[in-house]
Amino acid sequence: MSLRNIGIVYRKELMDSLRDRRTLISTIVMPLLLIPAMTIGFGSFAISMVKKAEKEVPKLMILGGEDSPGIVSALRSLPDAVFVPASDDYARQITNKVVRAAVRIPAGFEASLHGGDPASVEIYVYEGELKSEFGAQKFRAFFDDLRQRTIESRLAARNLSPAILRPFVVTKKNVAPEEKVGAAFSSAMLPYLVILMCLTGAMYPAMDLTAGEKERGTMETILTSRVSRTHLVLGKFLLVLTASIATALLAVTSMGFSSHMAATMFAKDLPPAAAQQFRLSISPQALAAVFVLVVPVAVLFSAALLAISLFAKTYKEAQSYISPLMIVVIVPAVASLMPGVELNWRLALVPILNTSLVSKEIFTGTYHWNFIGAILASSCVYAAAALATAVHLFQREDVLFRT
C-alpha cells in the first residue's frame, strides 16, 4: 500500500474540487447560508405572520342576545374589534374570511346568569386559521372573565370564600436544566441535520470524481498512469469523505451560530420558553461523541456514493441513480424524529437510524454505552463493506468502461 500515491491523488482531487463550483456550493455554501437562512428566515417569517395577525382589527359577529342587552353592549365595547350585523350565513362568512369569528348568545342568557341556571355560549371559529383564532380569543377572554365574575358574585351572595373552589393547588417543578428543556427542538433536529449534510456533502464530489471523470474522458488518462486502481480509488474516497465531514461540521457550526442568533433576535418577540427552542445547548463532550459515531456513517455514504456513481457513464446518469438514495437515507433519519421511536437492540443494527437515535440520546445527556459500542461496531462493518465494494468495482473494466 503506497500512502504516497494515495496522498498525491488526494491532494490533486482536493485542489480540483476546491475549484469546482458545484462541489463548493454543496460542501460550503449550502451549510453556511442555507441553515442560517432557514433558521432565521423561517423564524422571522413566522413571527411577522403572527404579529400581522395580532395587529389586525378582526370583524366579529354577535348572533342572538336580543334579551341580553347588557352582555351585547359589553361585547360591542371590546377594544380593537369591529362588529358586523348578525347574519344567518355566518359560517360561510367565517370560511370566506369576511368575518373572523362569531358568538351565539342563547336566549335568556342574562336572566339565567342572574337566576343561576346553566347556559351555553357557542363561539364559531375557523380552526387552525391564525386570524380567526385571534378573533375568537377576544370572545373567549370576555366570557372567561364574565364566568369568573359570576362565580365570585354567586359565592359572595352565599357568604362563601372563592378559595372554596380551590381546596389545593398542584404545581409542576422542573428539575432538568433550563436550557435542556428549552433546547429540545434544536437538539432533536441536529442528528438528522448532521446525517443529511454528510450525504449531501459527499454527493457532488463522488459523482464528479467518477461519472464526471468518465464523461470528461480523464478516467482513461489517469488509468494509463503508474498509480494502481486501489490507490486511485482510496485517494478519491478520502476526498469524498473530507467533503462529507467538512459539510457536516460546517452545518453544525452554522446551526450553532444561527440558533444563537435566532434565540437572541426573537427573545423580545417570543415568550422565553419559545425563544429557548431556537437555542442549541450541547456540551463539547456530546458533540465529540456524536462526531465519532458519525464518521463511520460518512465513510459509508462516501464509499457507497462512489461505488454507485462509478456505474454511471455520465454525471446526469449518476444523479438519477443517487436521487432515490436520498429517500433511503432521509426515511431512517426522519424516523428517529418520530415520537416513541426508541433505541433497542434491533434498531441498533439499522444503519443511519441507529446513529440518529443514539445521537439524539447523547445530545440530551444520556449515554447508553452498550448501544454506543454496538452502533459504532455495526456502522464500521457497513462502512468497511461499502469501501471494499467501491475498491472492487474500480478493478472491474466492465464498470470502468461501461458502454
Contacts to other proteins by CB under 8 A: 5, 8-9, 12, 15-16, 19-20, 216-218, 220-221, 223-228, 397-398, 401
**CA dist list (Å): 314 to 216, 217, 306, 327, 396:** 9, 11, 13, 22, 17
- Write down the least CB distance from residue 12 to other proteins, Å: 5
Return the number of the residue (367 or 401) whose C-beta is nearest other proteins: 401
Task: Give me 179's grid cell.
Answer: 436550557
Return the number of the residue (19 or 55) whose C-beta is nearest other proteins: 19
Helix axes 315-335, 353-363, angle to 10 degrees: 50
Return the number of the residue (235 or 256) whose C-beta is nearest other proteins: 235
Return the number of the residue (22 or 368) whose C-beta is nearest other proteins: 22
- Write down the least CB distance from residue 202 to other proteins, Å: 19
Return the number of the residue (20 or 317) whose C-beta is nearest other proteins: 20
- Write down the least CB distance from residue 219 to other proteins, Å: 9
Q: Cα separation of 369 and 138, whole Å?
A: 53
- Write down the least CB distance from residue 223 to other proteins, Å: 5
Q: Cα separation of 35 and 47, whole Å?
A: 18
Question: Which are the contacts of 64, defined by CB distance < 8 A and separation ≥ 6?
Answer: 86, 104, 105, 106, 107, 109
In what order do the strands lie in the sheet containing 101-105?
82-84, 59-64, 101-105, 122-125
Return the number of the residue (115 or 217) whose C-beta is nearest other proteins: 217
What is the amino acid identity at position 213? Answer: E
**CA dist list (Å): 127 to 144, 167, 350:** 19, 35, 40
Task: Give me 191's grid cell.
Answer: 442528528
**CA dist list (Å): 208 to 26, 215, 221, 318, 342:** 12, 9, 15, 9, 38
Q: Cα separation of 226 and 9, whole Å?
A: 12
Return the number of the residue (20 or 152) whose C-beta is nearest other proteins: 20
Cα–Cα–Cα angle for 275, 280, 283, rounded to 5 degrees: 145
Whose cell is 342572538? That residue is 64
- Write down the least CB distance from residue 239 to other proteins, Å: 13
- Write down the least CB distance from residue 3 to other proteins, Å: 13
- Write down the least CB distance from residue 267 to other proteins, Å: 46
Transcribe 11-23 into DSSP letters: HHHHHHHHT-HHH
Return the number of the residue (16 or 67) whose C-beta is nearest other proteins: 16
- Write down the least CB distance from residue 395 to other proteins, Å: 9
